[in-house]
Amino acid sequence: MGKVNKHQSDRDRFGKCQICLGYIPIEYYFGIGDEIDCYECGTAYIIESKSPVKLKMTEDKYNSNDYFEDKLFDEY
């Protein structure tokens, strides 16, 4: 077996946006509690953990009703 590198691997340095599913790079100088934005859609996150990367949305402006709203349609 080889030695384990103390530095994070490339795949461990990214969080995933819950809205657009884009990858958010987590740089080494970011700390737990720092706020970071998704580059694709602008959703704001707070870093909860760096290893493994866990992000929490600062504002829950999106909910399931935005995408899967139950609507009643008139019958013809």
Q: Tens digits of per-residue pLDDT, 18-75?
A: 999 999 999 999 999 999 999 999 999 999 999 899 999 987 665 555 554 445 555 5
Selection from 6, 10, 34, 33 nearest residue 23 by Cα: 10
Q: Which residue has the tokens 């704001």?
A: 44
Residue 43 is part of a domain; what is its CATH number? 2.20.28.160
Residue 64: inside a domain: no
- 69 backbone dihedrals φ, ψ, rounded to 5°: -75, 130
Q: Which residue has the tokens 């795949």?
A: 11
Q: Which domain holds residue 27?
A: 10-59
Which band of pLDDT confidence, cut at 50, 70 and 90, is reported for residue 11? low
Residue 68: inside a domain: no
Strand segments (E) across 1-76? 14-16, 23-25, 35-37, 44-50, 53-57
Higher local confidence (pLDDT), 59 or 13: 13
Residue 3: inside a domain: no
Domain count of the fold of the chain: 1
The pLDDT of residue 66: 52
Which amino acid makes up residue 56?
Answer: K
Residue 45: inside a domain: yes
The pLDDT of residue 2: 47
Q: Which two tokens stand for residue 50?
A: 């760096």
